[in-house]
C-alpha cells in the first residue's frame, strides 16, 4: 500500500518542537496582555474577493500564491494568505468601531501561500500579528513597533535591526509613482520580466524585487522620502522622535516598501542576518485606506505580522537550550495488579492538584520502570509492592540526591505539594 506523507510545504509539529511553539505562544499572549491587545480568531477561509480587494490584485500573493477554490455552495473562497484583511473584515462586521477606540487586536493563526518552501517559510505557516484601529497618531505606530521590539527581546533575539520608511499618503504616493516610473523606464531593458510587468501597474513592487541584477540597476532610484508632503513628513519625524525616546534603535531605509498594496505612511521591518536571504523577521506598517477599501468608513490603522516559524528559526540560531528539559514531578511504579490499582489512584489524586504524575502502561519490570522514570526526567519516584500495600505507605525518592522518605498513602498529595511548593 502506498505510503501517505504530509504535503510539500507542510510540517507536523510535535515533541521538542511543540514545546518551543507553546513557549513562544505563551510569551506572545503575556506580551499582548501587557500592551492591552485582545486576541481575535478569524475563520481559516474567507471569500476570495476580500483578499483581492484588501491585499491587492497586482501582488504575487493574489496572482500566484493563494489557495482558492469553489466550494459546494458555488462560493469562491480562499484559505487566508495573511491575517490583516480578515481582521479588518471582522472589525467592520461586528461594528467594533462603535466601541471605545482605539481597537487593539492580536492573532496567532495558520496561513497559506503556494510558494517554494525554504528555511523559515512553508506553504502552511503561522503568523502572529497585531492590528490597531482608530488612531492616526504616530504614537500608535510607535506602540506597534514597540510590541515587536519587546517580543524580540523577550525571545532573546538580539541580532536584528529595525528599518523604517514612509510611503506617504495618496498624494505623496501618486507623485512618487510618476517619478519612479520615469526612472524605471530608463532601466527597462536591464530589468527582469516581472519588474517590467510591474513598473506601470505598481512601480513600488519593483523596488521589492529579489533579483540581484535588478537591485544593481535600481541603485540611484528616487526615494519616496523625497516626495513626502508636509503632514506625512511631520508624521515620520515624530515617529523617529518617539522611537528615540523609547530607546528603540532604528535605521531610516528608503528601500523598505513591504510587499502588500495596502500600506501608507509608516512601513518597517526587523531584519536578521542569521537566517540567510529571507532576513525579515517581522514587518508591518500603517494602512489608513484598507478599512475603506473593504467597505467601511475611512479609519486609520497600523499593525504588523511575524511568522512563528521564522521567529523560532532566529531564536534557535541565537540561543541554545532556551527551554528547560521536559520533566514530571513524580513517577509511581508498581509490582502486581493490586499495586497497579493503588498507583493509579495516587497518580490521579496528584494530578487533581496540578502535580505532574506518571505511572507505567506497558507492564514493564521494576528495573525498566525506573529507566523510564529517568527518561522522562521525573524529579521523584516511588515503587508500590506488597509490603507498601500492607503498610499503606510508600518511599518517595529524590531522583537527584537519592534521598528517600516514607510517606503514608493518604498524605502523599499534601507532602508532594509541600516539597514542590505547589498550591491548590
282-332 pLDDT tens trace:
999 999 989 999 999 999 999 999 999 999 999 988 887 678 888 999 999
* Predicted TM-score (pTM) of this structure: 0.87
Q: CATH 3.30.930.10 residue ranges in the chain?
A: 15-168+228-318
For position 276, what pLDDT does the model report? 53
Provide the grid cell at 192: 527582469
Q: Alpha-carbon distance 28 to 65, whole Å? A: 28
Beta bridge partners of 301: 133
Residue for cell digits 471582522? Answer: 90
Three-state SS at 15? helix
> What is the enclosing helix (H) or strand (E) of 305?
strand 301-307
10 Å CB burial of residue 74 (0-12, 13-18, 19+) is: exposed
Reference 300, options 169, 167, 127, 129; nearest CA is: 169
Determine what percent of the chain falls in helix, strand and coil, rounding each to the nearest 5. 45, 20, 35
- Cross-strand partners of 39: 106
Element (H, E) at 285: strand 280-286
Q: What tens digit of pLDDT does each residue of 78-129 get?
A: 999 999 999 999 999 999 999 999 999 999 999 999 988 877 679 999 999 9
Residues of each domain in the chain carrying CATH 3.40.50.800: 328-420
Residue 115: predicted pLDDT: 85
15-168+228-318: in CATH 3.30.930.10: yes
Look at 414 and 275; give whichever has higher pLDDT.
414
User: Are 45 and 111 in contact, with CB atoms under 8 Å apart?
Assistant: no
How many Cα atoms sit within 13 Å of 355 on the Cβ side?
Answer: 28
For the domain covering 328-420, report its CATH number.
3.40.50.800
pLDDT at 277 over 90: no
Each residue's pLDDT tens digit, 374-392: 999 999 999 999 999 999 9
| In the chain, % of residues over pLDDT 70 | 96
pLDDT for the residue numbered 259: 63
The DSSP line for 337-405 is HHHHHHHHHHHHHHHTTT--EE--SS---HHHHHHHHHHTTEEEEEEE-HHHHHHTEEEEEETTT--EE
Report which of residues 368 and 62 the model is more confident about.
Answer: 368
Amino acid at each position: 500500500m502506498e505510503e501517505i506523507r504530509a504535503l510539500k510545504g507542510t510540517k507536523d509539529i510535535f515533541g521538542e518542537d511543540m514545546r518551543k511553539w507553546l513557549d513562544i505562544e505563551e510569551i506572545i499572549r503575556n506580551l499582548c496582555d501587557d500592551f492591552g491587545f485582545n486576541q481575535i480568531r478569524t475563520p481559516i477561509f474567507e471569500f476570495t474577493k476580500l483578499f483581492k480587494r484588501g491585499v491587492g490584485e497586482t501582488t504575487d500573493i493574489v496572482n500566484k500564491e493563494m489557495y482558492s477554490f469553489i466550494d459546494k455552495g458555488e462560493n469562491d473562497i480562499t484559505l487566508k494568505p495573511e491575517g490583516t484583511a480578515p481582521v479588518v473584515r471582522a472589525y467592520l462586521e461586528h461594528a467594533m468601531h462603535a466601541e471605545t477606540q482605539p481597537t487593539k487586536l492580536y492573532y496567532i493563526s495558520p496561513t497559506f501561500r503556494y510558494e517554494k518552501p525554504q528555511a523559515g517559510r512553508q506553504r502552511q505557516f503561522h503568523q502572529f500579528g497585531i492590528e490597531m484601529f482608530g488612531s492616526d497618531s504616530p504614537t500608535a505606530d510607535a506602540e506597534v513597533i514597540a510590541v515587536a521590539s519587546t517580543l524580540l527581546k523577550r525571545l532573546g533575539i538580539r541580532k536584528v535591526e529595525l528599518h523604517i520608511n514612509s510611503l506617504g499618503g495618496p498624494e505623496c504616493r501618486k507623485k512618487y509613482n510618476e517619478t519612479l516610473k520615469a526612472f524605471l523606464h530608463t532601466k527597462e531593458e536591464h530589468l527582469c520580466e516581472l519588474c517590467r510587468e510591474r513598473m506601470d501597474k505598481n512601480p513600488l513592487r519593483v523596488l521589492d524585487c529579489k533579483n540581484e541584477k535588478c537591485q544593481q540597476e535600481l541603485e540611484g532610484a528616487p526615494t519616496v522620502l523625497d516626495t513626502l508632503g508636509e503632514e506625512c513628513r511631520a508624521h515620520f519625524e515624530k515617529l523617529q522622535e518617539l522611537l528615540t525616546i523609547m530607546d528603540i534603535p532604528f535605521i531610516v531605509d528608503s528601500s523598505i516598501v513591504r510587499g502588500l498594496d495596502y500600506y501608507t505612511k509608516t512601513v518597517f521591518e526587523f531584519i536578521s542576518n542569521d537566517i540567510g536571504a529571507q532576513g525579515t523577521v517581522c514587518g508591518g506598517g500603517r494602512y489608513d485606506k484598507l478599512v475603506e477599501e473593504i467597505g467601511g468608513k475611512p479609519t486609520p490603522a497600523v499593525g504588523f505580522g511575524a511568522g512563528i516559524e521564522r521567529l523560532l528559526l532566529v531564536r534557535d540560531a541565537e540561543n541554545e537550550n532556551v527551554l528547560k528539559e521536559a520533566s514530571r514531578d513524580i513517577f509511581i511504579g508498581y509490582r502486581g495488579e493490586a499495586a497497579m490499582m493503588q498507583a493509579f489512584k495516587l497518580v490521579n489524586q496528584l494530578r487533581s492538584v496540578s502535580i505532574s504524575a506518571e505511572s507505567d502502561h506497558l507492564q514493564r519490570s521494576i528495573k525498566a520502570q525506573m529507566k523510564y522514570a529517568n527518561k522522562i526526567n521525573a524529579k521523584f519516584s516511588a515503587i508500590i509492592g506488597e509490603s507498601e500495600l500492607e503498610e499503606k505507605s510508600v518511599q518517595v525518592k529524590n531522583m537527584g540526591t537519592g534521598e528517600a522518605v516514607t510517606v503514608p498513602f493518604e498524605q502523599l498529595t499534601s507532602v508532594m505539594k509541600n516539597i514542590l511548593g505547589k498550591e491548590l
